[in-house]
Chain A
Amino acid sequence: QQQVKQSPQSLIVQKGGISIINCAYENTAFDYFPWYQQFPGKGPALLIAIRPDVSEKKEGRFTISFNKSAKQFSLHIMDSQPGDSATYFCAAIEETSGSRLTFGEGTQLTVNP
């Protein structure tokens, strides 16, 4: 059973466009929501993270929007660039399970020049 559901599975965006990736969860014990970026042949790297007491967090072109009541959160990539082409994973940490990450299924983003 996938505890964090991520969509879409793949996404193609034109350069300069906005990329939007969505995640949903059921476990209300999740209390930390990081996003990871993975390039081919590399391990995932932390991109941005949010806690549920905040509805939005922005770092450069990357923004997380968080809707606690709907148990949904999303990643927005503004002014998408070809260098953003990668696989993106949302994740969650449960307050009772220490630091173990529960990942979404991943979204393969392609930004066309």
Chain B
Amino acid sequence: EAGVTQSPTHLIKTRGQQATLRCSPISGHTSVYWYQQALGLGLQFLLWYDEGEERNRGNFPPRFSGRQFPNYSSELNVNALELEDSALYLCASSLGLARYNEQFFGPGTRLTVL
């Protein structure tokens, strides 16, 4: 069974541009989570989607946004990129809303902002 997939693997942008990151969850999973793993800051929760709705949002500015499509895949959009947005962005999926459902992580998208 395929795991969580993310694309692209690497993304290089310049300051002020927009970045779009994509995530495909494990088949049957309806929840998608986004986390930022920045150097020295650990893993920070960004967004959680389930059944197409935003369920929770981390402490990030509004220029971080996303959506979940009817096939449960998800996009993370980062507008007006800043240098400090350079990080590994991880997507995870789980079997819906139950709190203790295991989150399965993808390999991440490495975003570099120049």
A-to-B contact residues, CB < 8 Å: 2, 32, 41-46, 49, 89, 91, 93, 95, 97-106
Chain B, residue nearest A89 (CB): B43
Contact B105 A44 (CB under 8 A): yes
Chain A, residue nearest B101 (CB): A99
A residues in contact with B90, CB < 8 Å = 43-44
> Quick one: which of A46, A99, A103 contacts B48, CB cutoff 8 A?
A99
When each residue 91-114 of chain B gets 1 if its CB lies under 8 Å from chain A and 0 otherwise, what string results? 010100111111111111000000
Instruction: Determine how close the nearest CB of chain B comes to the CB of A99; give it in whole angstroms.
Output: 5
Whether a CB of chain A sits under 8 angstroms from the CB of B42 is: yes
Whether a CB of chain A sits under 8 angstroms from the CB of B28 is: no
Contact A32 B56 (CB under 8 A): no
B residues in contact with A91, CB < 8 Å = 43
B residues in contact with A100, CB < 8 Å = 33, 45, 48, 56, 58
Query: Can you list 19 A-B contacts (CB < 8 A)?
Result: A32-B99, A43-B92, A44-B90, A45-B104, A46-B102, A89-B42, A89-B43, A98-B48, A98-B97, A99-B33, A99-B98, A100-B45, A101-B43, A101-B45, A103-B42, A103-B44, A104-B42, A106-B42, A106-B43
Contact A32 B100 (CB under 8 A): yes
Tell me, in angstroms, the Cα distance from A45 to B56 when the chains sit together: 22
B residues in contact with A45, CB < 8 Å = 104-105
Interface residues of B in 4-27 (CB under 8 A from A): 4
Chain B, residue nearest A51 (CB): B100
Whether a CB of chain A sits under 8 angstroms from the CB of B31 is: yes
Tell me, in angstroms, the Cα distance from A43 to B94 when the chains sit together: 14
Contact B43 A99 (CB under 8 A): no
Given A44-B90, A46-B102, 4 more pairs with CB closer than 8 A: A89-B42, A98-B48, A99-B31, A102-B45
> Quick one: which of A41, A101, A102, A103 contacts B107, CB cutoff 8 A?
A41
A93, A98, A102, A105, most chain B CB atoms within 10 A: A98
B residues in contact with A99, CB < 8 Å = 31, 33, 48, 94, 97-101, 103
Whether a CB of chain A sits under 8 angstroms from the CB of B55 is: yes
Contact A105 B42 (CB under 8 A): yes
